[in-house]
Every structure is written in C-alpha cells, then in structure tokens.
C-alpha cells in the first residue's frame, strides 16, 4: 500500500525515470539534453506491464503517441506475481504525505469512470490507530474528503453493518462478529474503498492494445542499450534474454520491485530495496459473505493490519503493512559482471514469487510469525473471522 494504485498520470513512473536521469548526472561529463520526443514518430519502449507500465502507455496514447511497445517477462499477462495482480487493492487517500492524498483523490474520481466497468467499490476506509492516522486525517480534511472522526469504540462500531453489531438470535450466543475496539479512536473516509486489481489491469491491457500499443509477453529484458553513436550515454533500447533487440527513442522502466535486481548495472539497489509483504486470505460461505459484504476497508495503524471486504468469490484479503522481508541474491547478468569489475560485488533483494519458486507453491509462502501476527491483530477487528483457517497466503513484492 505504498502508493495509490492505478495512477492515471505518469508522475510516479516518471520518478523512476528521473532516478536514472539523476544517476547519469552524477558522471563527471555533463550529458547533453535528450532529443525531444514527437508523438507521431517517436518510439517508446516501456519495460513492465503492471499498473505503472500500462498506465504510462495509456497516458502517452492520450497525448498522441503512436509507437509504443510494452515488454514483460511473464508468460501470461497480467503477470501472476506482479504487485498489480491481486484480487483487490485498497483505494484510499488516507496518506500522511499530502502529495499522495491529492494524487489519490484525483485517482478516486477517475475510478468512477465507466471505462473501469465497476471495478471500484466505494466501501469507505476506516482508519484506526496512531498519529499517522491523525496526519492522514488532516490531509483528507484539507482536500475536502467526506470524513468523520470516531473518538471512541462505540463510534467506530457504528461504521459497520448493524448485522455485525448485534448479537441477535440469528448468531450463536458466543459469536463475536465484531471487536469491541477498546481504547481505539480513528476516522472514516467515505471517499475510498477498494478495487478489483487484476480485473482492472486486464481492462487497461485491452485498452492500450486496442489503441495500437504492442504488448509482448515472455520478453525478459536483460540489459539496456546505451547510445554509442553520439557518446551521450543515453538509453536507446533494450536487449531481451532471448536475444531480441528493441531500439527506442525513450525507454521507461516500470519493473516494480524487480527494478534493482533486473538492472544491477544501474546500481539502484543503493537507493531502493525490494521487500515482500505478507498476505493471507479467508474463504467465506455465501451466507457469511452477505453478513460482511458492506464492511469498510479497515486499516489499523497501530498494528499495520488491513482487511478488505469480501470479493465476488467471497474471499476476504488481509495483510500486514510492515517493513517486509528481503531475499538477497547475487545477480549473474553481464551488467553485474561489469559492476563487479568496478569493485562493488553485492547481493540485491530480488522478488521471490510463485513464478520464480513454483515448486509446491513455495513462492506463495509467508513466515509463520507473520500469519500469527495477522491472526492476533484480526481478533481486534473480527474475532470470529480470526478463528477461521487460512484459505491462502502470498508474499507480495
């Protein structure tokens, strides 16, 4: 949940490009300005077909760019292990950083566009817990969001459906559908909720292809091509593991948490660290699901727990927003060999996923300690659900 998903603006992706531009400016010889782009003729190469790659393609098309190629290493798109591929994601403007709040509010307005075919569900986002929530509250208020302060447990409970709050005859006497939230305060933002992540990525994929972009799967980019003609050192294309070469006037890296490990020669691991976050899901019966259908997204800033409402398959996704886990691997590409030659041998945190470690679904496993923590924190919100067995887990990078 580090950034708003489905960004309808290339700002965040271009910050990745900026990162690379910053690095080139560290060389002693100042690089000349890159050649200007022309929408009708410039060749754009985007590496990575997740949220950021496809969103960038979409917006470049909006700006009139005609020649866009998107490459992704996965055999099938959306890539099964991409961060963007998930049953659902929280859509919220509750960020302590006011830039994120503004960006997310713009995004939320756009989620309501019919192009998304109802992928967005405005369930409201309930934030309980710490000072972070208070700062988020200030940002939400400043941006005019529909927010209400919830100073005590009773007010927090009032944001859930009545069927969860009552202990009526329809439930067993010992059942505890909803926590008592003792000592908790928080706020609810009605301008937010969740989105069907994989379905929306598929929609975006279809749109950019229909508008003429070439999107190629099974294209793992091994290295970036540097311009040798003018000695500027600007990136002018990419070479894939299968030997295919893609020349371009502009190359955009949208490789998510693979960025540092895929391109070790760029030394981005000095600036960013890929980490895996633990997710777990619960399978509800249809009857249970109806009971929880209208719940808000819950973010507990005290513990890092988040819980989404059941999706159309009656699955509830929950996870821990935490520092996460690294997977340190020594890259073996030729780019890295040259980095080693310069005297910086190192390991880089590399996503360990269901595609890189498919045996016995190894790449989906999360640490037992994380599962215990999720279960303990879930008891605070939905005590009964916390007793159910996990239907699945995933380490999401």
Footprint of ligand FAD (CB under 6 A)? 1-5, 47-53, 71-74, 79, 82-84, 89-90, 219-221, 254-258, 262, 277, 279, 319, 396-397
Q: How far is the CB of 99 from ligand FAD (least distance, A)?
A: 14
Least separation in angstroms between residue 276's CB and ligand FAD is 7
Q: Nearer to ligand FAD by C-beta: 6 or 178?
A: 6
Q: Are 111 and 195 in contact, with CB atoms under 8 Å apart?
A: yes
Q: How far is the CB of 173 from ligand FAD (least distance, A)?
A: 36
Which CB sits closer to ligand FAD, 3 or 167? 3
Residue nearer to ligand FAD on the CB measure, 51 or 281: 51
The 10 Å Cβ neighbour count of residue 87 is: 21
Whether residue 31 contacts residue 20, with contact meaning beta carbons closer than 8 Å, is answered with: no
Nearest CB to ligand FAD, comparing residues 125 and 177: 125
Q: How far is the CB of 272 from ligand FAD (least distance, A)?
A: 12
Q: Which is nearer to ligand FAD, 190 or 322 (CB)?
A: 322
CA distances from 129 to 48, 68, 102, 358 (A): 36, 45, 22, 37
Q: What are residue 264's phi and psi, to 5 degrees?
A: -60, -30
Measured from the CB atom, the residue of 70 and 236 that comes closer to ligand FAD is: 70
- Give residue number: closest CB to ligand FAD: 50
Q: What is d(CA 81, CA 90) in angstroms, rounded to the nearest whole number?
A: 18
Whether residue 78 has a cis bond before it, omega within 30° of 0: yes
Min separation Cβ 253 and ligand FAD, Å: 9
Paired tokens of 52:
């950021």
Give residue 62's region: left, alpha or beta (phi > 0; psi -120 to 50). Answer: alpha
Provide the minimum distance between the beta carbon of 33 and ligand FAD in the complex, in angstroms, as a whole number: 27
SS3 341: helix
- CA–CA distance, 388 with 397 (Å, rounded to integer): 26
């Amino acid at each position: 949940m580090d950034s708003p998903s489905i960004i309808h603006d290339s700002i965040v992706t271009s910050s990745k490009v900026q990162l690379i531009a910053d690095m080139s400016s560290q060389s002693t010889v100042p690089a000349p300005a890159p050649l200007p782009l022309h929408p009708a003729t410039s060749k754009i190469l985007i590496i990575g077909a997740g949220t950021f790659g496809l969103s960038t393609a979409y917006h470049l098309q909006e700006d009139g760019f005609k020649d866009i190629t998107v490459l992704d290493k996965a055999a099938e798109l959306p890539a099964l292990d991409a961060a963007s591929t998930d049953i659902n994601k929280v859509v919220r403007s509750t960020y302590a950083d006011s830039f994120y709040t503004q960006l997310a509010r713009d995004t939320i307005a756009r989620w309501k566009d019919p192009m998304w075919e109802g992928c967005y569900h405005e369930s409201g986002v309930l934030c309980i817990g710490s000072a972070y929530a208070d700062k988020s509250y200030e940002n939400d208020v400043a941006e005019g969001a529909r927010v209400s302060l919830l100073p005590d447990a009773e007010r927090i409970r009032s944001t859930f459906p009545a069927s969860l709050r009552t202990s009526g005859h329809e439930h067993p006497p010992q059942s505890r559908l909803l926590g008592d939230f003792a000592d908790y305060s928080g706020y609810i933002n009605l301008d937010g909720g969740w989105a069907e992540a994989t379905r929306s990525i598929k929609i975006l994929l279809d749109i950019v292809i229909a508008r003429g972009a070439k999107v190629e799967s099974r294209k793992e980019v091994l290295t970036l091509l540097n311009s040798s003609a003018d000695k500027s050192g600007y990136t002018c294309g990419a070479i894939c593991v299968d030997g295919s070469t893609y020349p371009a006037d502009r190359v955009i890296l949208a490789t998510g948490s693979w960025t540092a490990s895929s391109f070790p020669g760029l030394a981005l691991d000095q600036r960013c660290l890929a980490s895996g976050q633990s997710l777990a899901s619960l399978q509800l019966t249809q009857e249970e699901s109806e009971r929880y259908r209208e719940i808000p997204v819950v973010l507990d800033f005290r513990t890092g727990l988040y819980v989404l409402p059941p999706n159309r398959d009656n699955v509830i996704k929950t996870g821990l927003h935490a520092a996460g886990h690294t997977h340190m691997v020594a890259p073996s590409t030729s780019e890295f060999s040259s980095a080693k030659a310069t005297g910086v041998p190192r390991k880089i945190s590399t996503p360990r996923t269901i595609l890189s470690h498919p045996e016995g679904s190894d790449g989906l496993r999360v640490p037992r300690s994380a599962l215990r923590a999720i279960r303990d924190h879930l008891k605070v919100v939905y005590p009964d659900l916390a007793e159910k067995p996990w239907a699945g887990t995933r380490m999401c990078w």
